[in-house]
Chains A and B, each alone.
Chain A
Amino acid sequence: MSIAAVIPIDSFNVVVLIAVFVLISLGLHFTFGLLNIVNLAHGEILLIGAYTAFQVQEWTGSVLLGMVFAPIVAAAVGLVIDRGVLRFLYERPLDTLLATFGISVVIRQGIQLRYSANPRTVQDPIGGSFELAGLNFPWWRVIIVVATIALVFGVRALLDHTRFGLHARATIANPDLAETVRINADGMRTGLFVIGAALGGLAGALIAPINTLNPSFGVLFLVNSFLVVIIGGKGTLRGLVTAAVILGGSLAVLQFVVSTVIAQILVLVIAIVGVRIRPIMVEALEAR
């Protein structure tokens, strides 16, 4: 008996959706989870990545080249946002909500002016699929899963095993104290925001071939990425992945049973319950 006979054929899509949830949340892990910036422009950073992939595809015919440029363009935009606006609001996290909301509107409207509201398509850079144990695996979706795993380990290594990561964690813990041990706290915060933007841009480009682009593309992912970071616990990569498995997995499975809209509503209910019970679970785990 093949695996396909006992596992639904779409089960790989559950894994892909979980990977997408992780992918879209990694950038927000830096900007919101670590820096405490309520970054409502995160969806538009994804949008910039996706449209960069589209534009490079239009210019050169190469989507893969677009995947290279997407994080660079998003990082550059992130640098301008941080140096131009957010650095004045580091000590006022709630004000970052209003500022990033304004930035998100400007970016979204700018993209709509340039590309119109018409749907755009980024080609699958590789195309095709392979079969294994009776299951079908589209190559690009496999690459999304592999890239997500690599990025999670990369982020973990960066934050836990490099001097940059050590200085970043010190800055996040106590920026004033960090300054007094020769760490440029402002520079570290900018660095973290730019990395978050680059990860967001890369995520947007990677998921563009499996979605249809329009200027509202980023908004669709914004809510889910915030849910993942909040449920997982700000600043914890392990929590982020766990929350992505719960929320992404629930959405994927529920979509088999009910409509997409109902599934998303149910995921929100799961998220609300998750927020409610999370402190109790953390307390219980710490008591063990």
Chain B
Amino acid sequence: MNALEVTALTSGYGTSTVLRNVSLTVPAGEVVAVMGRNGAGKTTLLRSLIGLLPHEGSVVLNGTEVSELKGHQISQRGMVWVPQDDSVFPGLTVKEHLSIAARDEDSGATSAIEMFPILQERLTQQAQTLSGGEKKMLSIAQALISRPSLILMDEPTEGIAPVVVSELMLAIEAAANKAAVLLVEQNIDVAVALSTHGYVLEHGSFVEEGAMQELHESGRLEERLAI
């Protein structure tokens, strides 16, 4: 069964169309990567899927059409989002973030600390004062403790120190054991290491699709993403 099936998705901002007729599939329990240069429409794709942008086309989550639903209704059905920027609520503590995400009152902090022990020391700290890597950890922990069926990750390793990237990659691998992941990534090494299938987005349309290893070995990924 597919966790996500997107058919003929068209989306944008106001009168400006960014994505045109995009279709993709994320099988349950797999990591699928979407790659593309800056401005290709990667974040627009994720914002459309999670219900934050109006769009045309079909979005089916675990067999249910969700394209007419609002963001909170889609997230209640198991799709969660790890944003690239603005991933925390200013003014809320780390513990409060985990409390919001947890499906039951007690499970939040404990599960998150098992994943990222550093969060134990940060529980009472305002989340906006965390480092970039810690914010990503918090965001991934939030996503996982909400027991999702599909996680949308928007460039989770972008701007993060190399030593933290490996820790985040382990966390994403762990996440993939619990839910399907749609990973938006510019870093080819990270995408190849984590995902089984890949799409390349250019000017709002997919121009490459296939098994990630095959895309990588053919050199088409490097060619498409070269600056």
Contact surface of A with B, Cβ cutoff 8 Å: 166-167, 169-170, 173-174, 176-186
Interface: B62 (CB within 8 A)? no
Min distance, Cβ A151 to any Cβ of chain B, angstroms: 22
Q: Are B101 and A181 in contact (CB under 8 A)?
A: yes
B142 on interface, CB distance cutoff 8 Å: yes
B residues near A170, Cβ cutoff 8 Å: 89, 92, 96, 100
Contacts of B89 in A (CB 8 A): 169-170, 173-174, 177-178
Given the contacts A169-B89, A176-B52, A185 and B99 also touching, CB distance less than 8 Å: no
Chain B residues near A183: list those with CB within 8 A: 72, 100
Q: List 16 A-B contacts (CB under 8 A).
A: A166-B92, A166-B96, A166-B99, A170-B96, A174-B86, A177-B83, A177-B88, A178-B89, A179-B50, A179-B70, A180-B52, A180-B75, A182-B72, A182-B146, A183-B72, A183-B100
A58 to chain B, nearest CB (A): 44
Q: How far is the CB of B43 from chain A (nearest CB, A)?
A: 12
Task: Report which of B50, B90, B92 forms a contact with A180, defined as CB distance below 8 A.
Answer: B50
Q: Please tell me if the beta carbons of B92 and A181 are within 8 angstroms of each other in the complex.
A: no
A-B contact count (CB 8 A): 61
- CB neighbours of A178 from chain B (8 A): 72, 89
Given known A166-B100, A173-B92, contact A184–B72 (CB-CB < 8 A): yes
Which residue of B51, B86, B92 contacts A179 across the interface (Cβ within 8 Å)?
Answer: B51
B174-202 interface bits toward A, Cβ cutoff 8 Å, 1 = contact, 0 = none:
00000000000000000000000000000
A176–B75 CA distance with the chains assembled, in angstroms = 12
Q: Could you tell me the dominant secondary structure of chain A's interface residues?
A: helix
Nearest A residue to B82 via CB reads: A180
Report whether B100 and A167 are in contact in the complex, using a CB–CB cutoff of 8 Å: yes
Is B210 close to A, CB under 8 A? no
Hey, which bits of chain B sit against chain A, CB under 8 A?
Answer: 50-52, 70-72, 75-76, 80-81, 83, 86-92, 96, 99-101, 142, 146
Q: Are A173 and B146 in touch, CB under 8 angstroms?
A: no
User: Closest residue of chain A to B96, judged by CB?
Assistant: A166
Alpha-carbon gap, A183 to B97, bound state (A)? 12
CA distance A170 to B71 in the complex (A): 15
Instruction: Establish whether residues A179 and B96, one from each chain, have CB atoms under 8 Å apart when the complex forms.
Output: no
Per a CB cutoff under 8 Å, which of A166, A173, A186 touches B90? A173
> DSSP class of B's interface residues: helix, strand, loop or mixed?
loop
In angstroms, how far is the closest chain B Cβ from the Cβ of A187?
A: 8
CB distance from A212 to the nearest CB of B (A): 41
Residues in A neighbouring B91, C-beta threshold 8 A? 169, 173
A106 to chain B, nearest CB (A): 30
A181 interface neighbour in B70, B90, B100, Cβ under 8 Å: B100
Give, as a whole number of angstroms, the nearest-CB distance from A87 to chain B. 13
- CA–CA, A181 and B75, complex, Å: 6
Q: Across the A-B interface, give the 7 residue pairs with the lowest CB-CB distance, nearest first.
A: A179-B71, A173-B89, A180-B81, A184-B72, A182-B75, A170-B89, A179-B72
**A224 → B minimal CB distance (Å):** 27
A177 to B83, CA, bound (A): 8
- Give bound CA distance, A166 to B127, whole Å: 14
Complex: chain B residue closest to A167, CB-CB:
B100
- B76 nearest CB neighbor, chain A only: A182
**Inter-chain contacts of A173 with B (CB < 8 A):** 89-92
Whole-angstrom distance between the alpha carbons of A169 and B91 in the complex?
8
Smallest CB separation, B23 vs chain A (Å): 23
User: A180 contacts B96, CB within 8 Å?
Assistant: no
Quick check: B80 and A181 within 8 Å, CB to CB?
yes
Q: Give bound CA distance, A177 to B81, whole Å.
A: 9
- Docked complex Cα distance between A174 and B71 (Å): 13
Q: How far is the CB of B6 from chain A (nearest CB, A)?
A: 17
The residue in chain B whose Cβ has the minimal distance to the Cβ of A183 is B72
Q: Least Cβ distance of B61 to chain A in Å?
A: 14
Which residues on the B side are within 8 Å of A167 (C-beta)?
Answer: 100
Contact A180 B100 (CB under 8 A): no
CA distance A169 to B83 in the complex (A): 19
What separation, in Å, do the CA atoms of A272 and B108 have in the docked complex? 46
Query: What separation, in Å, do the CA atoms of A275 and B37 have in the docked complex?
Result: 46
How far is A248 from B195 in the complex, measured between Cα atoms in Å?
63
Cβ of B100: which chain A residues have Cβ within 8 Å of it?
A: 166-167, 170, 181, 183
Contact between B75 and A169, CB atoms less than 8 A apart:
no
A255 to chain B, nearest CB (A): 38
Contacts of B88 in A (CB 8 A): 177
**CB-CB nearest in chain B for A188:** B72
Kindly state the separation between the CA atoms of A181 and B99 in the bound complex, as whole angstroms.
11
Distance in Å: Cβ of A181 to nearest Cβ of chain B: 5
